[in-house]
Structure 1
């Protein structure tokens, strides 16, 4: 086909769940809006708590703050458009805006992976080298490491979008997803996408499995160190400091690994079910994480109890 006869896509349309009946549009938009509102309120409350209580200015909480910012920004760059698609039937997104959203989606996913790996390293040093923890994982060092995470996450994600952007999109413009991501967009290109999709897949695996490997190794050493503690109370106390992070890590990595494993072993899902799984593991952790921080962290519970007791009756 000659270039003169091609009609190139100028914008895309976010379909969301292709099998969803229109009578459920209002319900789905209300659910997504509630998820977004809960994300903003929960994480915003914890950020306010962190800003107003110096007792929380510790390395572990600086890492939490980095994860929260990433979660809020991810939800903000994805949810408003899909909510508008179902609430106002406005699913159109410009060509450039779609690729910018693609970049942000993968960028914040990378930030989360790296941050969870940093979180595991923090716990490893706290448990295995407690007397050197304050010098190795000082607030200054954690802030610097968090900044490094946010900077390093740019690299390959920029290249992924730069490679996908100039492809000829001259056919359908319907994105079978709730947001623009690399797979759903490059599928719409008018050429063989293998040369573009395979490097992106390899990069995703390196980020995901590389971070997961660091986490697994760190917690393996933590478990060995915990088992060497003489008293049961000491083992329980040490493990409790890591339990909240294990929950967060499980929520982030388990469904992602399952999704990638299914996609590469020939397991075929219904499209709506696959999108639902992706949305669950992308959007539920930002809602649940602040609750985990509050319920599983002694410092936060003490602050909340103190504030509650000081309320006028």
Structure 2
């Protein structure tokens, strides 16, 4: 790594200094809700043996990615607005860049796996229990975590190998390859092309199969004569489809506008912040309240707790 700079400065969102405290407090609240919600999801599924199924295992992996991504990016963003600490060490920026792209790639693969799970369950239900087991799902989830390390390590090494200019301002809220490459003095055209190709592969590859799988699911469901079966399948698939849309639609908008080059920096940053924070924030809510099995399990737990509390209160009154 060749540069005279030891620290980089986040440009961040276009927020006036007098609003820094309010924005920082809001972001801190978002991070706390994001972390608590996703950790609760993982703990709840891990504790309830009846929920330890392939589809929930995939969602727990997604929740783990969401917590990791939030922990990778949010502390420095919060520090900028609450503590007015707008800098990050040069080497730390590269580490953050690696994990930002790594966790984003794992998320894309897990969403693909989620769609495959629903595709087999609806379109080939007789073979579902044979093809999709906890063991096979766990193996594929591990593969989703391992595969991106190879090419992202290559990108990290290549990005760090070029000389960097004296400019130290990153036009982003966290370090990513696009913002860091703008500070380079060396020729990064071939690396940028490789990064763009991999980004398209990670984005469009899974998205293409996801679209195909849900079209096949819709066609299969519409052929069913049983209305209750239709409703059950739609109610099972709709939370996952909503999560997928929240993740992919803003990303597609960012890449499409990057190609056109017509989006302002502030709008681009807001879109990136949207798809970085909003899906992890609402995923546990969608998962718990839109999934019938989870919703019923939670309500049963709450009712049991209320009954137990009433019995203890009644017993205490009789003892008096």
TM-score (norm 2): 0.93
After TM superposition, give the deviation of residue 232 of structure 1 in Å: 2.2
Structure 2 residue 230 is the aligned partner of structure 1 residue 235: yes
Residue in 2 that maps onto 1:28? 23
Aligned partner of 2:174 among 162, 168, 179: 179
Residue in 2 that maps onto 1:3? none
Matches within 5 A, 1:83-162: 83-162=78-157
Distance 1:299 1:281 in 2: 27
Residue in 1 that maps onto 2:271? 277
Unmatched segments (≥5 aa) in structure 2: 311-320
Contact in 1 for aligned 2:39/2:64 (Cα 8 Å): no
RMSD value, Cα: 1.3
Return closer, same or farther for 1:42/1:109 CA change in 2, 3 Å cut-off: same
Structure 2 residue 264 is the aligned partner of structure 1 residue 266: no
Q: How many residues align?
A: 306
Secondary structure, aligned partner of 2:8? strand
Contact in 2 for aligned 1:70/1:111 (Cα 8 Å): yes
Q: Does 92-101 or 245-254 show the bigger shift?
A: 92-101
Secondary structure, aligned partner of 1:13? strand
Residue in 1 that maps onto 2:314? none
Q: Does 148-157 or 62-71 show the bigger shift?
A: 148-157
Structure 2 residue 152 is the aligned partner of structure 1 residue 163: no
Contact in 1 for aligned 2:102/2:149 (Cα 8 Å): yes
TM-score (norm 1): 0.95
Distance 2:172 2:3 in 1: 23
Unmatched segments (≥5 aa) in structure 1: 1-5
Distance 1:147 1:191 in 2: 36
Contact in 2 for aligned 1:171/1:189 (Cα 8 Å): no
Report which of the two has the higher share of helix: 2
Distance 2:279 2:43 in 1: 19
Distance 2:230 2:48 in 1: 29
Residue in 1 that maps onto 2:40? 45
